[in-house]
A and B are shown apart, each in its own frame.
Chain A
Amino acid sequence: MIAERWLNAALYLALLAVPLAAWALDEPFVITLATKIAILAIAGVGLNLALGLGGLVSLGHAAFFGIGGYAMGILASHAQSYTPLMQSPFLIEGTKSMPVIWLVAIVVSAAAALVIGALSLRTTGVYFIMVTLAFGQMLFFFAISWPAYGGEDGLSIYVRNGFPGLNTLDPIQFFAIAFVILSLVLILVSRLSRSAFGLALDGARQNVARAETVGINPFRVRLVAFTISGAITGLAGALFADLNRFVSPSMFSWQTSGEIMIFVILGGVARLYGPLAGAMLFILLEHFLGGISEFWHIYLGLVLLGVVLFARGGLIGTLSRAAAPHD
């Protein structure tokens, strides 16, 4: 376990050190890549709470990622065009302020996760996978067919939203925001997983009957976990939209759900830093394999197959076991 702790520290510091070095060397593209890793890692940490700790295999987390993205897109596009979002019964204006957008993204995606979770958690196992997938698709088709916010074409936001006291258009400053949020989310999830709630969730995953016997209501614990998980992924969606200054229905697509899940699995299920390791590996593979071959998804698929079939525990599991054979 000590090895895993060192590995986590190394990953975390690498994510901090590489963009700082890139900043010194004036390589903004590397900083943007690191920002993308940090944001996708947040989405993965969110999913990992439900998937790893709760054992809830959700193939629909793109729903929350997309809701976060559209929360940003809708608020910013109204601010951009100086039109209010709603006039009656009370006035709601758009905004270009990141903290407000994050708050809206968190609240709306948590509400969506509460509803989707309440329906999906009636089922278990393979039904749960398919039902979450279907809810994700439902929002995907809704985003495509609703013309008010760009429909299939998505929405472009011309200027990145602001954060008081920072220039968010400077890559390193935007990276700092993403990095701090990732750190806060990691602290939150680590606290949660060691709290009474986290232990109850873990217990309900391992053995429902035992959890029920000691007075835990598995449905409620899981629903709370699913809601928090959706809210974190929604926050990541808002940041991701701000990174690209663009939202489109593809954020809702089931490939997005699959990719978020890939970060978790590549890194190692139920390991706190697993999604960070997975997002790093994924983005680096995308960058380097994408440079070698147009058909890089073949190699990504083969790597993924190899990890699932032969390297259980993912990157962190494999590396930390190699470093600590007596584990």
Chain B
Amino acid sequence: MSLILLAEQVLNGLQFGVMLFLMAAGLTLIFGVMGLINLAHGSLYMIGAFAAAGVAAATGSFLLALAASLAAAAIVGGVIELVVIRRLYQRDHLDQVLATFALILVLSEATRWAFGSFPLYLNIPPALSGSVRLPGGIEYSLYRLSLIGIGLLIALALFWLISKTRIGMRIRAGENDREMIAALGVDISKLYTVIFALGAALAGLSGALVGAIQSVQVGMGEPVLILAFVVIVIGGIGSIKGALIGAVLVGLTDTLGRVLLPPFFATFMEKSAATTVGSSLSSMLIYILMAAVLIFRPSGLYGRA
């Protein structure tokens, strides 16, 4: 295998990881601050993608489509927080799992009802299509490269928001002691709605960004949701830094596993058997990684025990 191909796959893994981070960041914030496990996060990802595809088809503008994905996911997120989610904060995890599972059923079917069962397509904007030549002679898709850039920028913005701004201070305070900050006069229920909508917007944005390189369809959110769960279990629930490192780790492991494992097995096995074993094992690799992390650190890399 040539080094150029390998470098390309590393970039693909990084791009995948950065997009996973956008999902995982919202999940881990919502869990860290509100103690809520939200299975419907994947539906917000889907809603973002559909909103973007709809607006792009109507206006032809990719920027407007991205804005629409942020707005639609934030609005839907805010509404379900006000109507359903806020009744669940005091409940046990079982009720949260069930209620948010029910939300998936409702949101997925409503989307199917509104947009039909056929996948939609969202085109890469002309300014970002084509490929660029990176140092070392690597040809790489400009759009995917921009995804890595956007994802890292958002990660930086999120770190800044959490560590330097007033709202970030409140979020951190909410993680530590919700009664105390309520007693200090912070409107805690408004804060929760804002955090939930922020997480939703990030999920919606990543849905729209990834929607341009995959098809936009009902059910697209759940596989990503489960990967995001793996990410935050590895990184430690509640930790943004853990989410970023976990996401990149999962993205790289998955992408490189698929590329490297079949040829690795082919060095000592018959070729067709090697492909079978290699591809089966690589589809399970991130779960094996998760199990390994849990054996050594049951609360994740950066989780508080």
The answer to whether A134 has its CB under 8 Å from any CB of chain B is yes
Q: Is the Cβ of A134 less than 8 Å from the Cβ of B109?
A: no
User: Which one of B97, B101, B287 contacts A138 once the chains associate, using CB atoms below 8 Å?
Assistant: B287
Give min CB distance, B230 to chain A, whole Å: 5
User: Which one of A133, A144, A147 contacts B283 once the chains associate, using CB atoms below 8 Å?
Assistant: A144
> Across the two chains, which residue of chain A brings its CB closest to B31?
A126
Q: Is the Cβ of A57 less than 8 Å from the Cβ of B93?
A: yes
User: Which one of B37, B94, B283, B294 contacts A51 once the chains associate, using CB atoms below 8 Å?
Assistant: B94
| Residue total for A at the interface (Cβ-Cβ under 8 A) | 42
Known interface pairs A59-B97, A301-B106. Does A131 touch B283 (Cβ–Cβ under 8 Å)? no
The answer to whether A203 has its CB under 8 Å from any CB of chain B is no
Interface string of B264-305 (1 = CB under 8 A from A): 000000000000100110011001101100110011100000
Q: Is the Cβ of A301 less than 8 Å from the Cβ of B104?
A: yes
Alpha-carbon separation in the docked complex, A301 to B226 (Å): 20
Alpha-carbon separation in the docked complex, A122 to B288 (Å): 15
Q: Is the Cβ of B229 less than 8 Å from the Cβ of A133?
A: yes
Interface string of B70-107 (1 = CB under 8 A from A): 00000000000000100100000111011101111110
- The number of inter-chain residue pairs (CB within 8 angstroms) is 118
> Most chain-A Cβ atoms within 10 A of its Cβ — which of B95, B101, B108, B279?
B101
The answer to whether A91 has its CB under 8 Å from any CB of chain B is no
Q: Is the Cβ of A130 less than 8 Å from the Cβ of B233?
A: yes
Residues of chain B lying within 8 A (CB to CB) of residue A258: 101
Q: Is the Cβ of A141 less than 8 Å from the Cβ of B283?
A: yes
Known interface pairs A298-B106, A302-B106. Does A131 touch B98 (Cβ–Cβ under 8 Å)? no
User: Which one of B37, B105, B232 contacts A304 once the chains associate, using CB atoms below 8 Å?
Assistant: B105
Q: Is the Cβ of B106 less than 8 Å from the Cβ of A262?
A: no
The answer to whether B175 has its CB under 8 Å from any CB of chain A is no
Give min CB distance, A230 to chain B, whole Å: 17
Give min CB distance, B190 to chain A, whole Å: 22
Alpha-carbon separation in the docked complex, A295 to B87 (Å): 26
> Chain B interface (Cβ within 8 Å of chain A)?
31, 37, 84, 87, 93-95, 97-99, 101-106, 108-110, 112-113, 222, 226, 229-230, 232-233, 237, 276, 279-280, 283-284, 287-288, 290-291, 294-295, 298-300
> Chain A interface (Cβ within 8 Å of chain B)?
51, 57, 59, 119, 122-123, 125-127, 129-131, 133-135, 137-138, 141-142, 144-148, 254, 258, 261-262, 265, 269, 295-298, 300-302, 304-305, 308-309, 312
